[in-house]
Amino acid sequence: MGIATASTDPWLSPAAEVAQALGADLHDGLDATEVRARQARIGTNEITAERPVPGWRRFLDQFRDPVVYLLLAAIAISLVAWLAEGAGGVPVDALVIAAIVMLNAVIGFAQQARAAQAVEALRRMSATTATVVRAGEQVRVPTRDLVPGDLVVLAEGDTVPADARLISAAALTVSEAALTGESEPVLKDPATLPRAAALGDRLNMVFNGTAVARGVGRAVVTATGMRTEMGQVADLLHATREEPTPLQREIARVGRMLGVAVVVIAVVVVVAVVVVIGVDSVTDVVNAMLLAVSLAVAAVPEGLPTILSVVLALGVQRMAAHQAIVKRLSSVETLGAASVICSDKTGTLTRGEMTISRIVTALGEVEVTGAGYEPTGALLQDGRPVAAGEPTRSAAEQVLAAGCLANDARLVEAAGQWTVQGDPTEAAFLVAEAKLGLAAGRQARYRRVGEIPFSSERRLMTSLHADAHRDGAIAVATKGAPDVLLDRCAHVQVGPDLHRVDRAWRERILADVDRLSGQGLRTLAVAHQRLASADLPALEDVETDLVYLGMVGISDPPRSEAVQAVAEAQRAGVRVVMITGDHPRTAARVARDLGIVEAGSRAVSGAELDALDDAAFARTVRQCNAYARVTPRHKLLIVDALQAAGHVVAMTGDGVNDAPALRSADIGVAMGSGTEVTKEAAAMILADDDFATIVRAVREGRGIFQNIRRFLRYLLSSNMGEVLTVLLGVLMAGALGLAPSDGEVVLPLLATQILWINLLTDSAPALAIGVDPVAGDVMDRPPRRRTDRVIDARMWRGVLLLGAVMAVATLAALDLNLPGGLLAGGGTPDEARTAAFTVLVLAQLFNAFTARSETASAFHRPFSNHWLWAAVLLSAALQVAVVHLPVLNHAFSTVPLSGPQWVGCVALASSVLWVGELRKLLLRHGRPGPARA
């Protein structure tokens, strides 16, 4: 049997030929023996799930970071040094660094506890049972048991269990938004298509995971499991791997640079000790190695991974308060770097609620205000309200009344929320009628006594009603495609008069259809007639000699907040691109309404993209901001092309068709009302479905990036100060008065003092800088480029300058308190080292204020960060305790300082602030513009 060929464009072949290729019986279906044989040969109708990553592996993944590797190496070196010293006491350095590494891993693991399970969610979406014909009997079977060739029976409310070719259909409409992005249910037709068509235009096919909105039909299964369109989406998810975020890549680069720097520093120090002092014994070698280890540990910002995780986690909490749920910490910052937001249309930029916005009658056109299903709005003509009793309002009311009679939908209110049951297009009439306050009168007056249901062949629906105001006389209401309905109409309603439908009227009405369609509106025409007798006529005679009332233009309106959000994103230099499976005219209209494209622009279709070569495709993606009738593959290609052009891409969506592109984008953003597949594939979920939340998240991300730069500037310059202090202190030991004692190196700072400085200044102040308030102009700047560094050349120059100032100030304090040297002094070595130790701590605390901005003065909004002041005051108090408490004097080899010595220490330490202010002044003078973080 030709099962293998069944999935080859079955929409281009007659249903009988498709069934023959499948070995299917269109009357009796398959028998049990054949089903078992095919299941053995083809497999079950299930989406193959990826094996979930065990928890222990996800925890170990938290250690896969260059900075963490560096800290692990520091732990190993510290333990070796501790053992070389005789393993006395507790290896404090190693334990502290290990605790920091473990804390960072726990924070990351906790945030990622709900890891992506996109393919499993795909599998859960499938219907659990389906109605099929087996051996001539209609039965319900588990969906997983379906095979190609099965005869499926579809009815309203069913989930389509597999891809299938329609054999018959009666008013069958299928909601395919989750798969194709089409905003309204698609009317299905079993007729063979004349030519190749995009997924959303294959009207004689139904697809796995979509939902029957209305009508009934039969179809022969052409593909199951991974061979379905849903399965192909799963394949794309399998093949699409999450790439490291820009922040992750940059921190990895910084980690590698620090690793090289640590090795170089250690080598330079050992060589310097050997050259300056010489090595005469094993003890000298051990001392030199211990010095190198101390410097290496000082050079590594141990708090960097943890502070980074905490700052990102705090950002996650703030975004959660704005209904944005972030699944990966690094994704918060990525949104701040976004230069392009690719958004689905239906339900994301639009409300996903069909709305009548225009009513056109023979007396003119009126606008219906209000969007969505909430029945709040008004009737306007040329911008002014249309009063009750005006001819144009009466004509519009007639259109809505007839449209509501030929209607099977319901408008429901629950807890203040309005929803619809039934076809969304039919519901649009009910909402518009409720806006004008007409519903109660219609329901009391008319009672349905018959109907001719909608069918794909007729493209019309007619209902018959007994009119209580006319002694039960029959009122006929018909709605449908304008060109079809017009052929059934003999007259046009013009106010109280009837005009014959002549050539002029026909051309005028069809011109109105073209005009509304050109605006991206779906058109439906409405007609009626009143029968003189209360006796029901033959139904085949009802849809003749109708009176044409008018037509409506229906749209899926843009979210009002999305219009403002798009404008704000563009003001911030973020390009908004709309990608949808909807019709090109509809897509272009929505894009224009939202301000995504200019007037006169059009949407590029998926078919047009397929016709482009690589160069033309890349050129189109650089220029086009609206795409229509695209497939999941097109979305992936568009995202990849934007990334190849250097953009950081955020992709939003709510349907299964969006999931692969969400996974591939730098950050995928799912709507809270979307499918589980989309939520699991995304890095962030908008619980309120509000596109404006994305813009708030961009602002939050940019603020977080600013703060990351701030605390990196602080940590690196402070650690640079420690490294240069020890390195220059060893190289200039003689000039400073640090004479060797018994052939051993006399260090400007002890290892315990270096560790204390790291614990004191690399924790609370750095974390406080990480929560600095976001600058007010953060959204007035363009997004940073993908190639921009978190730590650029200018920041490195500042780090080196301030580190050098700290070292000079610290060594000056040392020299001022030692006899001999460059500066005269009379203190003891312990006093000199305590003064130097204190100057370095205070210099780093002054540096905390300098590091808040690269160009803005530290005296600009100095008290806006209360956490920073608290951290600095706490650290200063702890340093005073280390200097003056006897128990801490013994632990850290310090001695109390006098009042004048403290004044001198503060003065020397403040040099960091004044040099930083001078540098910022020069930068502002040289490059005017907004202050940089």
Q: Tens of pLDDT along 48-106?
A: 655 555 667 767 776 766 556 666 776 776 677 677 666 777 776 677 667 756 765 66
Least confident piece of the model among 90-99, 199-208, 444-453: 90-99
Mean pLDDT of 884-907: 89
Q: Is 344 part of the annotated catalytic residue set?
A: yes
Is the per-residue pLDDT at 898 higher than 50?
A: yes
pLDDT in tens, 652-699: 877 666 777 787 888 888 877 666 566 767 788 877 777 778 888 888
State residue 127's pLDDT score: 41
Give per-residue pLDDT as tens, 219-256. 999 999 888 887 777 666 655 555 666 666 777 777 67
Q: Which of 344, 423, 593, 666 is catalytic?
A: 344
d(CA 525, CA 429): 12
609 and 620 Cβ atoms separated by less than 8 Å: yes
Write out the two tokens for 889: 């004097």
Residue 498's SS3 state is strand
Q: Where are the alpha helices (DSSP H) in 519-654?
A: 560-571, 584-594, 606-610, 614-623, 632-644
- The pTM of this model reads 0.64
b/e code 114-146 from CB counts within 10 Å (16+ = b): eebbbbbbbbebbbeebbbbbeeeeeeeebbbb
In this predicted structure, which of 2-11, 77-86, 430-439 has the lowest mean pLDDT?
A: 2-11
Tens digit of each residue's pLDDT (9 = 90 or more) over 604-660: 988 899 999 999 999 999 999 999 888 778 888 999 999 999 898 988 877 666 777
Residue 685 φ then ψ, to 5°? -125, 130
Task: Give me 893's structure tokens.
Answer: 């080899």
Q: For the ranges 555-564, 643-652, 774-783, which has the lowest average pLDDT?
A: 774-783
Span 399-409, pLDDT tens digits = 998 998 888 78
The closest alpha carbon to 660, from 231, 97, 365, belongs to: 231
CA-to-CA distance for 19 and 634, rounded, in angstroms? Answer: 31
Round the average pLDDT of the chain to a whole number and report it.
Answer: 81
Pairing mode, if any, of strands 649-653 and 667-671? parallel
Place of tokens 């597999």: 162
pLDDT tier at 291 (50, 70, 90 boundaries)? low
What residue ranges in 392-536 does DSSP mark as E strands? 410-414, 417-421, 446-452, 460-467, 473-480, 489-494, 497-500, 522-530
Q: Look-up: residue for tokens 């579809």? A: 154
Q: One-letter amino acid identity for 660? A: P
What's the length of the chain? Answer: 933
Distance CA 547, CA 84 (A): 102
Q: What is the CA radius of gyration of the chain?
A: 37
Sign of CA dihedral 679, 681, 685, 688: negative
Question: Which pair of structure tokens corresponds to residue 383?
Answer: 């911008």
Where is mean pLDDT largest: 343-352, 845-854, 886-895? 845-854
**Nearest to 396, CA basis, from 353, 448, 432:** 432
Task: Residue 146: name the closest of 34, 244, 254, 284 by CA.
Answer: 34
Residue 30: predicted pLDDT? 92
In terms of DSSP bridges, do strands 364-368 and 379-381 run parallel, antiparallel, or are they unpaired? antiparallel
- Cβ atoms within 10 Å of 28's Cβ, excluding its own: 13
Rounded CA gap, 249 and 246, in Å? 5
Of the candidates 211, 209, 201, 212, the one whose C-alpha atom is nearest the C-alpha of residue 229 is: 209
- Given this model, what pLDDT does residue 6 score? 46
Q: Which pair of structure tokens corresponds to residue 255?
A: 């980690």
149-188 pLDDT per residue, tens: 999 999 876 788 899 999 988 878 888 876 776 667 788 9
Cα–Cα distance between 783 and 19 in angstroms, integer? 55
